[in-house]
A and B are shown apart, each in its own frame.
Chain A
Amino acid sequence: MTKRTLWMPLGQLVLALNSVVVLVPLLIMMLSAFKNTREIFQNAFGLPVVWRWENFTRVWVEAKFALYFRNSVVITLASIVVILVLGAMAGYALGRFRFGGNDLLYLYFLSGLMLPLRLGIIPLFILMRNLRLLDTPWALILTYAASGLPSAVFILTGFFRALPSDLDSAARIDGASEWLIYRRVMLPLVRPALIIVAVYNLIPIWNDFFFPLVFIHSDRLKTVPLGMTAFFGQYYTDWATLFAGLTLAALPVVALYVLLSQHFIRGLTAGALKG
């Protein structure tokens, strides 16, 4: 015990030091967003002399962040809705019914957890071109929805399977239709799993850069990560605006994380930890 108490201050020091390494860069980013460029160069670590909120207005209006945000929100929400609706239906069928090929279909979906879709980007690009979906939000929504399904099926099948069997039997005796049993009896019971699936997919889709880079060319359709490359090219000497842009881009995710950190930590590590 004495040895433990002796080591604890050192442990605290290490933990505190790592917190500094994580937080200070983000703090400097936020403070720099309120300075002007000369001030950033001369006084990188101090507080801003004047808090220049206009940096954010410039980013939001001139640098079109309002547009990029709207695109990101629409595409992310649409993808999540498709993942939840289709993933829950498939998870229900796989988790509650015994039929030939059940295990095979389940494993087929699971294979998607391992295989990185970006290795198939050339055929996917040609497919989207043939479907005339290039440079439309649909290319992204369909890609994100399809690649989010394995995690949804994996998590939701497990949850549906664990529900007691007399629930749906009772509803069937009452003559409820299969859709009604699913929609009114079973689906409400897996709401916690739906949240896990949503969080698990939310951040990777919101942050994704690769697929917009390949599919989207028009400036008016760019998402936040893709829009940021155009923004950095345009303002590369104007550090104050750059830091304001970085801060603004990070803000929604950080705010959501601060509010829901436990959900985020559980959701994002769900792939590596078994439920």
Chain B
Amino acid sequence: MPGSNRSAAGSGPRRAEAPPPSVALTRFARPRSRGLTRRGSQRLWLVIFLAPATALFALFTTYPIVSALVYSLYRWEGIGRRELVGLENFVRLFTTFPYSQLLLNAFWHNVVVFVVTMLAQNVVALGLALLLARGPWGAKVYRVIFFLPVTLSLIIVGFLWALFLNPVFGIVNQLLATLGLAALARPWLGDTHTALVTLTLVNAWRWLGFPTIVFLAGINAVPDEYLEAARLDGATEWQVTRHVVFPLLASAVTIIVLLTFIGSFNWFELPYIVQGVSGGPNRSTDVLGLFFYRMAFGEVDTGLQDIGVGSAIAVLMFILLVTVSVFAAGWLRRREVELA
């Protein structure tokens, strides 16, 4: 998508054949005395400007990601690469014990994290954004407060809530007892039934402000005339929200769903910090990120490590994320064309 003023400012070799008259004068008015033409020297400057960033990006992000795909096709002994085995790592991951059980268990937990986050975090965020968009008293301060936990490290958040959720001394169970709800108190993070959802809610506590701000920006971007027109036609506030605001929020919703999806399937820090690399208790909080990490760098208690299988998990996660991202991006573009 060439921007209009970029082509006007353009000075590269491609345009030099037939440049706009004014530009042509400036370009060739002062040839370099060193013998380099302006064109040649500009090409050199482009290399100087672009090469460092491109080299750094290629070596430390593109190369590792592409290599991960290649690694999944080899047999590995510890950190040593052996012979090419085709898709054998994938077959082992899907069909042999304990890999297939662990994969299914972890994948299911990622799905749970995604669904619970959508309900407990994003739906609440949408409600808060709708309230804030009405400009109530203190709206600016609320915005700042709600976003605060987003800036905190997940390590701080994880350790803090691990202390709060301690079955004996934690404030959560103490609070329940004070409210006469002692029967509800339980080891939230130590019980296989509650651990994953509790941890997801801690995650939602940290992230809630983010979708709130994105939704709020989306609501504020709805032109006032649309709202006025609907109100003049006698629409109730709910009808205005439902039929005018929501359709125009579709882009913001898509972005948040996509980011929630990426976040849920890359989940690592919180379960690692709070529940350990094996996703305790009894793998009830094991997710793909932990499973991948254990295969790559070894599990402490079982000593199990398999870089081939680990790379296969990375490839699967990669395919999943790219597919969903491309799908969402395409959907977003179609929406924008419809609205334009």
Interface residues of A (CB under 8 A from B): 3-4, 8, 11-12, 14-15, 18-19, 21-23, 25-26, 28-29, 40-41, 44-45, 82, 86-87, 89-90, 92-100, 102-103, 105, 108-109, 112, 114-127, 142-143, 145-147, 149-150, 153, 161-165, 168-169, 172-173, 175, 178-179, 182, 203, 206-207, 209-210, 213-214, 224-225, 228-229, 232, 239, 242-243, 246, 249-250, 253-254, 257-258, 261, 264-265, 268-269, 272-273
Contact of A147 among B41, B61, B79, B205 (CB under 8 A): B61
In the bound assembly, the distance between CA atoms of A143 and B163 in angstroms comes to: 32
User: Could you list 7 A-B pairs, sorted by A, with CB under 8 Å?
Assistant: A86-B52, A86-B56, A98-B15, A99-B13, A112-B62, A117-B61, A125-B296
- Given that A146-B56, A165-B9 are known contacts, is A209 also in contact with B213, CB under 8 Å in the complex? no
Q: What's the nearest-Cβ distance from chain A to residue B125, in Å?
A: 10
In the bound assembly, the distance between CA atoms of A165 and B26 in angstroms comes to: 12
B127, B144, B205, most chain A CB atoms within 10 A? B144
Work out how many contacts link A and B, with CB atoms closer than 8 A. Answer: 282
Is B11 interfacial (CB-CB < 8 Å)? yes
Specify the main secondary structure of chain A where it touches its partner.
helix
In the bound assembly, the distance between CA atoms of A105 and B209 in angstroms comes to: 34
Q: What's the nearest-Cβ distance from chain A to residue B159, in Å?
A: 6
In the bound assembly, the distance between CA atoms of A243 and B160 in angstroms comes to: 8
Residues of B within 8 A of A163 (CB): 9
If A15-B131, A87-B53, A119-B318 are given as contacts, then 7 extra A-B residue pairs at C-beta distance below 8 Å, sorted by A number, are A4-B237, A98-B10, A98-B12, A115-B65, A146-B61, A209-B155, A239-B169
- Given that A117-B65, A120-B67 are known contacts, is A169 also in contact with B131, CB under 8 Å in the complex? no
As a 0/1 sequence over residues 1 to 39 of chain B, the CB contacts with chain A under 8 angstroms (1 = contact) are 111011111111111000000010011011000000000
- In B265-322, which residues have CB < 8 Å from any A CB? 266, 268-269, 272-273, 289, 292, 296-297, 307, 310-311, 314, 317-318, 321-322
Interface residues of B (CB under 8 A from A): 1-3, 5-15, 23, 26-27, 29-30, 41-43, 45-46, 48-50, 52-54, 56-57, 59-68, 71, 79, 127-128, 131-132, 134, 136-138, 142-156, 159-161, 163-164, 169, 171, 174, 205, 208-210, 213-214, 217, 236-237, 252, 255-256, 259, 262, 266, 268-269, 272-273, 289, 292, 296-297, 307, 310-311, 314, 317-318, 321-322, 325
A41, A93, A117, A122, most chain B CB atoms within 10 A? A122
Residues of B within 8 A of A95 (CB): 6
